[in-house]
Amino acid sequence: MTFEEAVRNCPAIADALQPGLQALRHTDKSYITCAKPRLLSGSVDLDSTLSAELPNASRWDYGVGVRCPQTDDKVIWVEIHPASSTSEIKSVLAKLKWLKDWLAENAPELFARSGDYVWVASGAVAFPASSPQRRQLAAAGLQFAGRRYEIQTT
């Protein structure tokens, strides 16, 4: 199944699908790149799309579909969030929990295709690579990308 088909099968976000990385808000475009954008099958801005329906939820930012030869598309889930304080970790982990719960209930086809969960820092980073906080993120299945994230398509 393609990313597009899985998104279209979820009524809450069916109309939010954009080609390539076009779902990224203007302020976030500089944080995410892809060397082979033709291998992206689209993107969705979950945060903006679900803000009216779920105004108080800890919404995740984006889902990006990546074409995988000889298998279903995979989805990279990207959160662009400050990392200027270790207290932000709790917030991003709450967003990750929200995302997984929301996907399981509302978009199981997307959940089944989940690849990486990635946090991209929108500013200074308060915890170094060898810190316990980074180990905490890794243990939760969350990749911390720092200030930029290059989507791998191979």
pLDDT (tens digit, 9 = 90+) per residue, 132-142? Answer: 998 999 999 99
| Number of neighbours of residue 124 by Cβ within 10 angstroms | 10
Average pLDDT over residues 3-27: 96
Interval 94-116: pLDDT, tens: 999 999 999 999 999 999 999 99
Residue pair 66/76 in contact by the 8 Å Cβ criterion: yes
Q: What is the pTM of this model?
A: 0.95
* pLDDT (0 to 100) of residue 26: 96
DSSP structure string for the chain: --HHHHHHT-TTTGGG-BSTTTTS-GGGGGGEEES-GGGEEEEEEHHHHHTTTSTTS----EEEEE--TTS--EEEEEEEEEESSTTHHHHHHHHHHHHHHHHHHH-HHHHHTEEEEEEEEEEEE-S-TTSHHHHHHHHTT-EEEET-EEE---
- What rounded mean pLDDT belongs to the chain? 94
Residue 6 has pLDDT above 80, yes or no: yes
Residue pair 109/65 in contact by the 8 Å Cβ criterion: no
Number of domains in the chain: 1
* pLDDT (0 to 100) of residue 62: 98
Residue 70 has pLDDT above 80, yes or no: no
Average pLDDT over residues 30-38: 94
Residue pair 144/131 in contact by the 8 Å Cβ criterion: no
Domain range holding 30?
3-151
What residue has token string 């991209």? 120
